[in-house]
Structure 1
Amino acid sequence: MTQKKATIPVCAVFDIGKTNKKLLVFDQNYEVLKEEQIQLEESLDDDGYPSDDLLQLTNWIKSSFQQLSQNPDFTIKGLNFSAYGASLVHLDGNGKPLSALYNYLKKLPKPLHKAFVEKYGKEVFRETASPDLGMLNSGLQLYWLKNEKPALFHQIRYSLHLPQYCSYLFTKEAISEITSIGCHTLLWDFDKNDYHTWVETEHLHSVQQKPLLTNHVFVDEEKQLSVGIGVHDSSSALVPYLRTFDENFILISTGTWAISLNPFNEEPLTANELAKDCLCYMNFEGKPVKASRIFAGNEHERQTKHLADYFNVDVNYYKQVKFDRDLIVFLRNKYKQATPDTADVLLDCPFVERNINLFKSYEEAYHQFMLDLVAQQIASLKLAIGRTSVRKIFVDGGFSKNEIYMSLLADAFFNKQVFASEIAQASALGAALVIHEHWNTQPIPEQIISLKRYF
């Protein structure tokens, strides 16, 4: 008689980025056993603006999970979701999406923004720890719908942030979760630890469910499956570090944005910090995390395309460029460099002002671009550090693999320990870890993060 092969208990995580959508499968030691990744074609919303195609995304999530469920090697014990924030899915009374997944880069009409500020004042941005970012403040997306598309607005029963919509596909539970509500949404009043009064004044009831803590799960008894409620990807990326390190640290989570996250900075957000795109996130335990951000990944993509066109090389040529300290010295002597103390260095990467014709080679131009980008990064990092004593700086995501970026950062913070972290899947891992107790019978391994120090 053949013995039935034991299946492996696993946690599946959908990690939904703006560019890449992934499904990862973790075993109880948090090793990745399976990974699939796709890029979906964008569609146009009802105003003709590009947006993630919600129907395609929904179908991919459902069909991928269905396929995974049929894999004889795995028993899925946990399921969770990490996804980008600032995006709402609006459901009608039958739980069906009513509109496109409006893109957070869409412009908020100026008259509407003016009307909001006149009505509620600028202090609302500080109270909600949300820089004034237009559609990147998801609360303003609802305000926009109410004023610009009232027929649609009045059909909305629930507005779910994207991570919670992904969870809803499996649980049919329409809920709010603290990391999604507490990330530059303009919805959460950090002073009173509740929804801001303007949300009530505008009757935005579709988002006003009491937010649950991130470790909440819904259990499917029949399948013996614990389904998480989703987590905002930037907050999720912090979880492995908070679960691993006791001493103060700061994490630069890099992707489309480079976000400096400091869970140990308890100084109240000032109007000055807010003006420099500094904000507070909520971590998975409901505690504020001081954060500052630059659009570094987006800028890197833009400039490497530009450099590839100009020097007639492949768009990924930058991956072959090795860090050249002599070239850095040469560039610093030849060109005026941006200093992180320059007031406007955070607004735009200084490289946009440079004349590309002056550079003799791609390598020279790329090193200068990285000098400028890292000047921006240093300024952003200093904002998040504030007056806290931080000894360790961790970098994860795309830039952690960029030797030039990492070496320049280590130069700038020579009195601290600077590490490239090799959990490239930090946000997916965080989503699995926050529901650890609900699916995993083993303790969390000590060596969950592999680090490479730069000097």
Structure 2
Amino acid sequence: MEVSAIFDIGKTNKKFFLLDSDFKEVYREYTRFEEITDDDGFPCEDLDNLIDWMTKVYFKMANHPEYQIKSLNFSTYGASLVHLDAQGNRVAPFYNYLKPFPEELKERFVKDHGEKHAFELTTASPFMGMLNSGLQLYYLKYTKPELFSKIKRSVHFPQYLSALFTNEYVTDFTSLGCHTGLWDMANNKYAQWVIDEGLEDLMCPVVPSDTNFLKNGVRIGVGIHDSSSALVPYYNANHHPFTLISTGTWSICMNMYNQSVLTPEELNADCLNFLNPKGLSVKASRLFLGKHLSNTAREVSEYFGVDYQAYKSLKKSGLFVSKRMEETKLLFDHSVLKPERYGYENDPAPDFSIFDSYEDAMSQFFDEITDLQIQSLRLTLGQSEVKNIYVDGGFSSSEIFVQFLADKLPEYHVYSSSFPLGSALGAAVVVNHRNLPEGFLEKVYNVKLTEAVL
């Protein structure tokens, strides 16, 4: 059987899939790794362990008598660079994008390159420190100059994994366009601050995300940013305007039909522009929703003495009535989501005793996070003609989450995918240069409409 092999590397879960010629899954393998620490003692990805696992899994399946791998691609989280010397050896830790960015360095950047709002409007990304992978290079240049001097090439994470199999070093549009702070969106070139700092010389040639190299009879893709990859199957198989909510650790709303220029107000609400595989702009907004849900669910389950995983099977009750006395006053601590930016008042010390049961408490929590999700969503909707909203990834299997969205957005059609394979499927579509037929998502991946119940 001829198959496509896809590595889908998230911050938590590392996945490997084989998809047949119809893009149906025929094999999967998941793993997780404990983090190690960088040279400052901050947690980071164990890249050696990851590479060892990937190599073993790939060659195990390449030698499997049942499968013939014809293509290989990589979908990974963004905002991460691998720093190499002239021989392709790693010369620096694989720094975590959650690593704090020194305040004094931010002040230096502003002094040398102008106010941060100019950086944000030019690169269509909020100033987020290490979450702007370009600023990771700036950080190394001025805090670790000896280490920085060893760097001859900095490679985005998806392209680094691809290069392990091809020895070809490039930059794809989606990795470049995921809040890196590197790219001047309006002028389609590296930002002036990147050029002034001499960082452009460390970057690899920019190519479309469907670029691939033929190695030993296998078509090997250059890799793709996972959130952008999740968008691919939906616009490939869909002839109607839509917005995608790609969920996981981050919940990211993406609308390629909103071409309006980013405003300072949108930037302050964590709205930004991505680049799609062809280098075109995609309006996006972000919420750190997945981790927030799991942390809160653990606290609530401990309080009520129920299984931590119980929230995954919750359904929205028709009897649910919010306990909020005012619509904008929240009963849970959502500080990690910064609800004030949407006009909500956070509760930093929630009182679980006001709830009758675990189900009552978690229903209230889902009511609140879907309010915040909708505010984030509306940033990307803008004045576009979108009427279809797709929920992809981990939250797509949460019936209560999707039903709350559908009930609160009766003017839209809200769809969910019961099989969250979006990122891997997008990587497979891109490397194979394939078009998906109309109805593919409904037939193969059980994408279904959730009707509003009013």
Within 5 Å, which residues of 2 pair with 1:14-413?
Answer: 14-121=7-114, 122=116, 123-205=118-200, 207-220=202-215, 223-327=216-320, 329=321, 331-332=322-323, 335-338=325-328, 344-346=340-342, 350=346, 352-413=348-409
Shift of 1:312: 2.0
Q: Distance in 2 between matches of 1:347 and 1:95?
A: 49
Structure 1 pair 426–100 and aligned structure 2 pair: CA distance change class (3 A): same
Which residue identity lines up with residue 244 of structure 1 in the other structure?
A
Residue equivalent to 1:4: none
Q: Distance in 2 between matches of 1:382 and 1:265?
A: 11
TM-score (norm 2): 0.93
Once the two structures are superposed, residues 116-154 of structure 1 have per-residue CA deviations (whole angstroms, 9 ceiling, x without a partner) of 122212201111011111110000100001111111111
The 8 Å contact of residues 338 and 375 in structure 1, kept in 2 or not, is answered as no
Once the two structures are superposed, residues 333-378 of structure 1 have per-residue CA deviations (whole angstroms, 9 ceiling, x without a partner) of x5433389x9715599946553223222111110111111111101
The 8 Å contact of residues 89 and 101 in structure 1, kept in 2 or not, is answered as yes
Structure 1 pair 421–321 and aligned structure 2 pair: CA distance change class (3 A): closer
Which residue identity lines up with residue 430 of structure 1 in the other structure?
G
Q: Distance in 2 between matches of 1:311 and 1:253?
A: 30
Q: Is residue 2:6 matched to residue 1:10?
A: no
Structure 1 pair 346–301 and aligned structure 2 pair: CA distance change class (3 A): farther
Task: State the SS of the aligned residue for 1:173.
Answer: coil
Q: CA RMSD in A?
A: 1.8
Q: Distance in 2 between matches of 1:320 and 1:404?
A: 8
- Unaligned 5+ runs, structure 1: 1-7
Structure 1 pair 301–46 and aligned structure 2 pair: CA distance change class (3 A): same
Which residue identity lines up with residue 448 of structure 1 in the other structure?
F
Between stretches 178-187 and 314-323, larger displacement belongs to 314-323
Q: Please point out which of 414, 426, 429 is paired with 2:425.
A: 429
Count the aligned residue pairs.
438
Which residue identity lines up with residue 411 of structure 2 in the other structure?
N
Residue equivalent to 2:335: none
Q: Distance in 2 between matches of 1:347 and 1:78?
A: 48
Q: Distance in 1 between matches of 2:223 and 2:213?
A: 11
Task: State the SS of the aligned residue for 1:284.
Answer: coil
- Unaligned 5+ runs, structure 2: 331-337
Structure 1 pair 19–185 and aligned structure 2 pair: CA distance change class (3 A): same
The 8 Å contact of residues 350 and 373 in structure 1, kept in 2 or not, is answered as no
The 8 Å contact of residues 29 and 444 in structure 1, kept in 2 or not, is answered as no
The 8 Å contact of residues 167 and 229 in structure 1, kept in 2 or not, is answered as yes
Identical-pair percentage: 42
Q: Distance in 2 between matches of 1:424 and 1:399?
A: 9
The 8 Å contact of residues 328 and 344 in structure 2, kept in 1 or not, is answered as no
TM-score (norm 1): 0.93
Structure 1 pair 335–207 and aligned structure 2 pair: CA distance change class (3 A): farther
The 8 Å contact of residues 177 and 183 in structure 2, kept in 1 or not, is answered as yes
Task: State the SS of the aligned residue for 1:325.
Answer: coil
Once the two structures are superposed, residues 221-269 of structure 1 have per-residue CA deviations (whole angstroms, 9 ceiling, x without a partner) of xx21110000000100000011011111000000001100001000011
Q: Distance in 1 between matches of 2:209 and 2:450?
A: 33
Q: Distance in 2 between matches of 1:432 and 1:398?
A: 19
Q: Distance in 2 between matches of 1:399 and 1:77?
A: 32
